[in-house]
Amino acid sequence: MRVLPTWEGQAQVTRPDLGFGVVDATTKTALTVASVSVAGETQIEIILGAEPEDPVWVTYGDSNHNGSGNIYDSDPAVAPDVYEWVEGNGAPYSEQIPDLIGKPYALPNPMINYALLSVEG
C-alpha cells in the first residue's frame, strides 16, 4: 500500500486523514482523526484525537471525502500509452499538466470505499 494524491475533478488532492473518517456508533458524532499512516503491507494506523467511549464506524472514501481517498496498492504497472493533451480537442486547460504530458502514466488501484463497525476484543 502507498499514499498518493487522488484526482477530484481536475485537481490532485492529498487529505490529512487520507480519506478516513471515524463516527461514534451510538451518538453518530464524527470523531477527530489526529493522524493516519500506512503501518505495514496490509495495515493502516488511525490515531484519534480522543479515546472513543462507544463502538465506532470507520469509513473510507465516504461522502465527506467526495467518495475518494489516498490509499492505493503498490502495483508498479504503467499504461502502454502516454498522457496527451491536445489544444482544441475539448479537454479543459486544467488537464494540460507538463509533468505528465508525453509520459506513460501510473495505473495504481485505489482502495475500495467501506464502512466497518468496530468490535471489542
- How many H helices and E strands in the chain? 0, 12
pLDDT per residue as tens digits for the range 32-49:
999 999 999 999 999 999
CA 80 from chain centre, in angstroms, equals: 25
Q: pLDDT class for 120, splitting at 50, 70, 90?
A: low
The number of C-alpha atoms within 13 Å of 96 and in the hemisphere containing its C-beta is 8
Closest CA to 47 of 70, 58, 15, 110: 58
User: In this predicted model, which residue has the larger pLDDT, 96 or 22?
Assistant: 22
pLDDT in tens, 70-90: 999 999 999 999 999 888 888
- Rounded to an integer, what distance in angstroms lies between the CA atom of residue 14 and that of residue 71? 10
Q: Write out pLDDT tens, residues 7-35.
A: 888 889 999 999 999 999 999 999 999 99
Stated pTM of the model: 0.85
